[in-house]
């Protein structure tokens, strides 16, 4: 709660951060429910139902659709521990893709990287050349929407190329700031692992991650020893299919996820993706009118987050202006702090609210 005037009439600062994102009142109310046992019949049914709903979200019939009680960073580690025997290739174009590369080293693997200047995105040719020159790799990791810079990678095209030139290399995808905001089709694009945390385009509090796994990925786990206990994909898939989470999850958040998946299905993925495209276009037009330079060139801009250069203005003044009107926006990430700022136009925001927000930070 804040005590200043809110132009939007709500009782708290509305988040236009690139995560965590604004959570609707209906979902917040579910979070306040009395806790039930996670081995109760009702909860077991809910877990099974979520498995089906997640299949619709990932657009997969053939894959396993699962969730876990953890941060997205843990999902990076789980992926390495389950799917990489020795060598992984990481497309590094920002802070989160770089984190995955470092996670692989921390797990004792031999990671290699394609380093791309921050703000850029890989080309299919760059990845293909690397695979041919230095492969084989057990897996290649792609950070679909690199939240630190606002760059979207050509995931579909990269995945198609990998399947063709390196059929034994798995395609692992961080879709943390993309899933339910940017087009993503697990089966059609023939992906092996996709994960996302609940605190971005899913517009829920942080705490859970959802993920999808291909049969090819599941088969790979047989070749990887010491996958861990909580983090073992085989164990997780078997348990969740029977409605049993491996450990005690954040129970109210699981119910909120279930409701949110219904709400997304009702909106439909196509409409939701289009709404994010529209929000990106609105932000782009506003930035051009206000004279801000973009950190990412077209066509690599993410539909969910836009990073802009400060363009002679003080980012802290912009953030203060937003706050004075009951909104929160994101500073630049890491070394980009104060040099850039980020508008997270993702989640459940109606376009009208984005416009209201942009209006109050205009003329800085």
Binding-site ranges for ligand PLP (CB under 6 A): 19, 71-73, 96, 143, 147, 174, 176-177, 197, 206
3-state class (DSSP) for residue 347: coil
Closest CB to ligand PLP among residues 135, 303? 303
Measured between alpha carbons, how far is 177 from 347 in angstroms, rounded to an integer?
Answer: 9
In the bound complex, what is the minimum distance in angstroms from residue 102's beta carbon to ligand PLP?
Answer: 12
In the bound complex, what is the minimum distance in angstroms from residue 18's beta carbon to ligand PLP?
Answer: 7
Closest CB to ligand PLP among residues 21, 245? 21
Closest CB to ligand PLP among residues 72, 218? 72
Per DSSP, what are the bridge partners of residue 309? 340
- The radius of gyration of the chain from alpha carbons, rounded to an integer in Å, stands at 20
3-state class (DSSP) for residue 216: helix
- For residue 133, give every residue at least 6 positions away whose Cβ sits within 8 Å of its Cβ, in sequence order, or none: none
Closest CB to ligand PLP among residues 11, 117? 117
Closest CB to ligand PLP among residues 78, 251? 78
Closest CB to ligand PLP among residues 243, 249? 249
In the bound complex, what is the minimum distance in angstroms from residue 178's beta carbon to ligand PLP?
Answer: 8
- For residue 102, give every residue at least 6 positions away whose Cβ sits within 8 Å of its Cβ, in sequence order, or none: none
In the bound complex, what is the minimum distance in angstroms from residue 98's beta carbon to ligand PLP?
Answer: 10
Select from 129, 188, 155, 101 the least CA-distant residue to 300.
155
Phi and psi based region of residue 190 (left: phi greater than 0; alpha: psi -120 to 50; beta: remaining)? left
Measured between alpha carbons, how far is 277 from 113 in angstroms, rounded to an integer?
Answer: 30
In the bound complex, what is the minimum distance in angstroms from residue 205's beta carbon to ligand PLP?
Answer: 11
From residue 346, alpha-carbon distances to 177, 239, 281, 293 in Å are 8, 32, 13, 21
In the bound complex, what is the minimum distance in angstroms from residue 176's beta carbon to ligand PLP?
Answer: 4
């Amino acid at each position: 709660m804040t005590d200043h005037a809110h132009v939007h009439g709500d009782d708290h600062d509305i988040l236009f951060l690139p995560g965590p994102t604004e959570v609707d009142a209906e979902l917040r109310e579910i979070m306040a429910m009395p806790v039930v046992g996670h081995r109760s019949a009702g909860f077991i049914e809910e877990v099974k139902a979520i498995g089906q709903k997640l299949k619709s979200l990932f657009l997969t019939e053939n894959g396993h659709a699962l969730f876990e009680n953890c941060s997205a960073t843990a999902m990076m580690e789980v992926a390495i521990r389950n799917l990489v025997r020795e060598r992984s290739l990481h497309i590094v174009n920002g802070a989160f893709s770089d984190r995955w590369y470092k996670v692989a080293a921390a797990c004792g693997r031999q990671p290699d990287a394609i380093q791309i200047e921050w703000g850029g995105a890989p080309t299919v040719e760059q990845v293909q050349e690397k695979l041919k020159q230095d492969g084989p790799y057990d897996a290649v990791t792609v950070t679909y929407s690199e939240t630190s810079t606002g760059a979207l990678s050509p995931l579909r095209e990269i995945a198609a190329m990998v399947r063709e030139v390196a059929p034994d290399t798995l395609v692992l995808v961080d879709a943390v700031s993309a899933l339910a905001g940017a087009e993503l089709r697990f089966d059609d694009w023939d992906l092996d692992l996709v994960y996302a945390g609940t605190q971005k385009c899913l517009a829920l509090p942080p705490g859970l991650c959802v993920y999808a796994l291909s049969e090819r990925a599941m088969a790979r786990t047989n070749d990887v020893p010491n996958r861990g206990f909580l983090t073992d994909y085989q164990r997780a898939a078997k348990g969740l299919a029977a409605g049993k989470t491996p450990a005690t999850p954040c129970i109210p958040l699981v119910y909120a996820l279930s409701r949110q998946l219904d709400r997304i299905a009702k909106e439909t993925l196509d409409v939701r993706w289009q709404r994010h495209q529209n929000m990106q276009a609105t932000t782009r037009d506003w930035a051009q009118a206000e004279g801000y330079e973009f950190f990412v060139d077209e066509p690599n801009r993410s539909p969910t987050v836009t990073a802009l250069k400060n363009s002679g203005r003080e980012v802290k003044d912009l953030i203060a202006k937003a706050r004075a009107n009951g909104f929160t926006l994101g500073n630049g990430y890491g070394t980009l702090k104060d040099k850039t700022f980020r508008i997270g136009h993702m989640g459940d925001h109606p376009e009208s609210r984005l416009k209201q927000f942009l209006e109050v930070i205009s003329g800085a």
